[in-house]
Amino acid sequence: MKYRLALFLFTLSITAAYSWGFFAHQRINRQAVFSLPPEMIVFFKKHIVYITEKAVNPDKRRYAVEGEAPRHYIDVDVYDKYFNDSAVYKMPRFWSEAVAMFSEDTLQAYGIVPWHVERMRYRLTDAFRRKDAREILRLSADIGHYIADANVPLHTTENYNGQLTGQRGIHGLWESRLPELFFDDYDLWVGKAEYIDKPQLHIWQGVVLAHEAVDSVFAFERKATEMLPPDKKYSFIERNGITVRTYSYDFCELFHRLLAGQVERRLRASIKMVADFWFTCWVDAGQPDLRELLDFEFTPEELEQMKKEEEEWEKAPKVPVRPHEAYRQAAPSGMPAYAHACPHNALF
Ligand SMILES: [Zn+2]
């Protein structure tokens, strides 16, 4: 009895605290490098460890850097009432138009990922133009992260962790646990990078496809729950001496099977889009000769500095970046009065 009580008290629920999971983000950036043309790959491959490792920096700094959190998602369905329809097809694609319609506070409250990708695209194009190796690498790693987030279904809905439908924990399950478990089965070669004619519409197309998958994410989780005996959905594991509740392998396997390749499709879409954006920025910058940058290396001091900075970020308290109250006045009528400030760390 005592043991049971202790088990109950110490049973923490876990879910990955990051978008796409650290694992998937790193794989997406890494795999995108191989889709680049020879003129680019020569430089990117040399720094593939950096591009891979730094893919997770935007998540690491989400609590430490003011304004970081909303760059990772857009709760596009909170605007449905405003449009009397699916807002994802009707939201203004350009930042200035969106600000004019909803105000910047509101947009920040519900997430800005597609518009932030566009901002990053300008910066990366500029870095290529200046042949600034440091910035090319930093911004390429960063934009890869945000593009990948825009392709995740649960980054496009206010029910981002199933908290509105009794499915709490689904966020980390879909984007961290499933890719980690089944990654080896995926075919992630997406072909060669292609030029994007209308980048701002293109990133929105990623959001549209991700959002169209939201219903099936929830429906199949529900179906998998019904198909398994109740005591088989979760299992308990020991982690650092604490008993932690997690989704069982059987549940993950069943949910993944019901999703019929959805996680793999979104991963492939992310990789392709990351490569296409990198390539487009390079072309728009006039196809600078990256062989001139081959001598570039980060200095040991710079590497040390980066390490320190990342440690500082991770020390930041895991609290909402801004209080929900701040958004109350910003919400247009018919929309929820607040938004989530930290979408990926919600526990069961
Ligand atoms: Zn993220």
Residue-wise over 256-280: b if at least 16 C-beta within 10 A, else e?
Answer: bebbeebbbebbbbbbbbbbbbbbb
Tell me whether residue 201 is in a domain: yes
| Domain residue limits at 183 | 2-75+111-317
- 10 Cα: distance to centroid of ligand 1 (angstroms): 28
- 27 Cα: distance to centroid of ligand 1 (angstroms): 14
Binning pLDDT at 50, 70 and 90, where does residue 19 land?
low
Q: What is the mean pLDDT of the chain?
A: 88
Q: Residue 319 has what pLDDT?
A: 62
The percentage of residues in the chain with a pLDDT greater than 90, rounded to a whole number, is 79
- 96 Cα: distance to centroid of ligand 1 (angstroms): 23
Domain count, the chain: 1
Compute the 3-state secondary structure of the chain and give helix, strand, coil in percent, each to the nearest 5. Answer: 60, 5, 35
Q: For 33-51, give the DSSP string.
A: HTTS-HHHHHHHHHTHHHH
Tell me whether residue 164 is in a domain: yes
Cα 33 from Cα 277, distance rounded (Å): 11
Q: Residue 333 has what pLDDT?
A: 47
- 59 Cα: distance to centroid of ligand 1 (angstroms): 5
The percentage of residues in the chain with a pLDDT greater than 70, rounded to a whole number, is 86
Q: Domain holding 170: CATH number?
A: 1.10.575.10
- 342 Cα: distance to centroid of ligand 1 (angstroms): 10
Tell me whether residue 251 is in a domain: yes
- 338 Cα: distance to centroid of ligand 1 (angstroms): 20
- 84 Cα: distance to centroid of ligand 1 (angstroms): 29
Tell me whether residue 329 is in a domain: no
Q: Decide if pLDDT at 335 tops 70.
A: no
Tell me whether residue 128 is in a domain: yes
Tell me whether residue 99 is in a domain: no
- 5 Cα: distance to centroid of ligand 1 (angstroms): 36
Tell me whether residue 254 is in a domain: yes
Q: DSSP E strands: which ranges in the chain?
A: 12-13, 234-239, 242-247
The DSSP bridge partners found for residue 12 are: 244
**Residues 45-75: pLDDT tens digits?**
999 999 999 999 999 998 899 999 999 999 9
Tell me whether residue 326 is in a domain: no
Cα 124 from Cα 287, distance rounded (Å): 13
Q: What is the mean pLDDT of residues 145-157?
A: 98
- 145 Cα: distance to centroid of ligand 1 (angstroms): 6
